[in-house]
Amino acid sequence: MHSMTCRTEGIQSTAPVRWRSFESMCTVYWEAQGRAGATGYYRSPDPRVMLFFNDVSDSILFAGQNGAPRTEWRPMLRALYVPSGLPMWTSFRTPHRFSHLDLHIDAHWLRERIAPMLGDETARAALRQPAEVQDVGALAALAQTLADEIDRPSRAPAFAESLAVALVTGLVAPKPDADETAGAQGGLSAWQMRRLRGFLAKRGGRASNAELAREVGLSEGWFSHAFKRTTGKTPLQWQQEQRISAVKECLLHEDLTIAEIALRFEFSDQGHLTRVFRRHAGITPSAWRREARAR
């Protein structure tokens, strides 16, 4: 059995908890719901994995420090690896129903199985660091198979244990793609950049650094540093490029006047849009539209 300390308020199970204990780990499957304002505190002496079977990033925030400023709370992602002894506080922004798999794993047993694949030094370092992933991909299939093994075992216990090792490895092993490892290297991760693009696409106009930082769960100061490291640009420069790209789409596919487009994308007037557009594209919006439609 696991020995995690857990205190919650406003969160309740919606189905009987399913669990199964193995020699070196305990697996628990939860179905639950939390009301807006619900809170939780969790700390375990064992490393653990949480994988949500539905997206919770818009509803649940978490932090690693009690009383952390709201700017340091960030969205809960689909899958997390939590090292031994690391505390976690959660807070619900909106009511939400969810289901997730919890794995509580013996630290020595886990390191012995991951070290041959990653190398002992890399494995030790990886297992000391928290990891979080939004795009779970194949990890969700591993987690679902492991959840099925809880009360409908299909093979020997070693099968479930190997699934757990694969799940942890998928979360903590260094990734070859620089975009995905950017967060660990002081920049923004791929999911954070995707979230920013989606946020700006819905918003239409310009957002402040504070708004962008809040969207990806970072403090404003750290966000500015991480953003410049990732893109080589300031958030203002990058937003301007995104807005000009959106203006080009509008020029190409819609019949609005330049003044109407300036208003849609929150430029102060047609002249302002023309100056910014010329700086980026080398020609005026009207000239760009004529050339683009003639191709």
pLDDT of residue 205: 67
Asked if 155 and 13 sit in the same domain, the reply is: yes
d(CA 95, CA 117): 41
pLDDT digits (tens, 9 = 90+) for 68-96: 677 678 888 899 999 999 999 999 999 99
Q: Which residue has the tokens 């990886």?
A: 126
**Is beta strand 88-92 parallel, antiparallel or unpaired with respect to 5-13?**
unpaired
| 199 in a structural domain | yes
The C-alpha atoms of residue 229 and residue 224 are separated, in whole angstroms, by 9
CB distance 217 to 74 below 8 Å: yes
What pLDDT does residue 1 have?
A: 65
pLDDT of residue 122: 85
pLDDT band at 175 (very low <50, low <70, confident <90, very high): low
- The confidence band for 186, taking pLDDT boundaries of 50, 70 and 90, is low
Please tell me whether residues 26 and 114 are part of one structural domain. Answer: yes
Co-location of 151 and 196 in the same domain: no
215 within a domain of the structure (yes/no): yes
Comparing C-alpha atoms, which of 80, 82, 83, 84 is closest to residue 60? 80
Residue linked to tokens 């300036």: 262
Q: Does 185 have pLDDT greater than 70?
A: no
Is 112 contained in some domain?
yes
Left, alpha or beta for 19 (phi > 0: left; psi -120 to 50: alpha)?
beta
Specify if 185 maps to a domain: no
Residue 9 lies in domain: 5-174
Phi-psi region of 67 (alpha: psi -120 to 50; beta: other; left: phi over 0): left
Which domain-ending residue is among 174, 203, 234? 174
The last residue of a domain, from among 134, 149, 174: 174
Residue 26 lies in a domain: yes
Say what angle helices 157-172 and 138-151 make with each other, to 10 degrees.
Answer: 150
Assess whether 213 and 153 both reside in one domain: no
Note whether residue 139 is domain-resident: yes
- Whole-number Cα distances in Å, 273 to 109, 137, 266, 270, 292: 61, 41, 9, 5, 18
The verdict on 161 and 194 lying in the same domain is: no
Q: How many domains does the chain fold into?
A: 2
How far, in Å, CA of 232 to CA of 16, rounded? 50
Whether residues 108 and 69 fall in one domain:
yes
Q: What are phi and psi of 228, to 5 degrees?
A: -65, -40
**Overall average pLDDT of the 267-275 stretch:** 91
Does residue 181 carry a pLDDT above 50? Answer: no
Give mean pLDDT, residues 169-184: 63
184 in any annotated domain:
no
User: Do 139 and 195 lie in a common domain?
Assistant: no
Among 174, 207, 228, give the residue marking a domain's end: 174
104 and 161 in a single domain? The answer is yes
Summarize pLDDT for 208-261 with one digit per residue, the tens.
888 898 888 777 777 887 888 888 888 888 888 888 888 998 998 898 999 999
Size of the chain in residues: 295
Among 128, 40, 121, 25, which residue's Cα sits nearest to residue 82? 128
Q: Look up the CATH number of the domain holding residue 232.
A: 1.10.10.60
169 and 35 in a common domain: yes
The domain that contains 104 carries what CATH number? 2.60.120.810
Q: From residue 210, give the alpha-carbon distance in Å to each of 95, 162, 166, 283.
A: 25, 43, 38, 33
Domain membership flag for residue 183: no
Q: Are residues 137 and 217 in the same domain?
A: no
Residues 136 and 18 in one domain: yes
Same domain, 202 and 117: no
